[in-house]
A and B are shown apart, each in its own frame.
Chain A
Amino acid sequence: DQQVKQNSPSLSVQEGRISILNCDYTNSMFDYFLWYKKYPAEGPTFLISISSIKDKNEDGRFTVFLNKSAKHLSLHIVPSQPGDSAVYFCAASVDPRKISSGSARQLTFGSGTQLTVLP
């Protein structure tokens, strides 16, 4: 049972245009969401996060939107650059205090979307 889903395995976008990556989740206890970018032969690199008390968070060219009623989040990249070509993972987590004391967050990942930005 996949709690976090990225239904688009791949996305191609022209350089300078907007890239929109989508993610859906089913667990209503998730309260913290993150996007990671992964290049081949490297580990995931943190991009941006959002808490469930917000519906938008911006950091430079990256904006994450959260729609709690639809259990949907999206990552917008504007403008897209060829260096943005990578696999993007969304991840979600539950407040660790609801699971066990002294814990950190456990991340549940989607299956990823390969973004290709064409020059």
Chain B
Amino acid sequence: DAGVTQSPTHLIKTRGQQVTLRCSPKSGHDTVSWYQQALGQGPQFIFQYYEEEERQRGNFPDRFSGHQFPNYSSELNVNALLLGDSALYLCASSLAGPRSNQPQHFGDGTRLSIL
């Protein structure tokens, strides 16, 4: 039973570029959430996708956008990259609705470095 998988594991970009990160949820999960973890901090919620729609969003600018596909996998896109976007990007999968009282499962993340 595959857990949450993310790709790529590492990425180096320069300021102003655009990046796409990918996530496949745990088998049986229908919801994908994205988090940003800066060095020395806890993960911060970016947004959540369910039924191919953005359902909740944290305090991130609209340079951060996403998508969910019919097979529940998801992409995180960041445009006009800034040095401050350097972080570990974590994807978590879970169940929505009445089954939401179960823990989210995380992937190992994508380490994004902006030069």
- CA of A111 to CA of B40 in the docked complex: distance in angstroms? 7
Whether A32 pairs with B101 at a CB distance below 8 angstroms is yes
Whether A102 pairs with B101 at a CB distance below 8 angstroms is no
Whether B103 pairs with A111 at a CB distance below 8 angstroms is no
For the A-B complex with A104-B48, A105-B104 known, give 6 more contacts whose Cβ atoms are closer than 8 Å. Answer: A89-B42, A104-B94, A106-B33, A106-B56, A107-B33, A107-B43
Q: A45-B106, A51-B101, A102-B51 are in contact. Are A107 and B45 (CB under 8 A)?
A: yes
Residues of A participating in the B interface, judged by any CB pair closer than 8 Å: 4, 6, 32, 34, 36, 41-46, 49, 51, 89, 91, 96, 99-100, 102-112
For the side of the interface on B, what is the size category? 20 to 34
Q: A44-B90, A110-B42 are in contact. Are A104 and B33 (CB under 8 A)?
A: yes
Ranked nearest first, the 7 interchain pairs of A and B with the lowest CB-CB distance are A109-B42, A43-B106, A104-B31, A46-B103, A104-B96, A103-B55, A104-B94
User: Chain A interface secondary structure, helix, strand, loop or mixed?
Assistant: loop
Residues of B participating in the A interface, judged by any CB pair closer than 8 Å: 4, 31, 33, 35, 40-45, 48, 50-51, 55-56, 58, 90, 92, 94-97, 100-101, 103-109
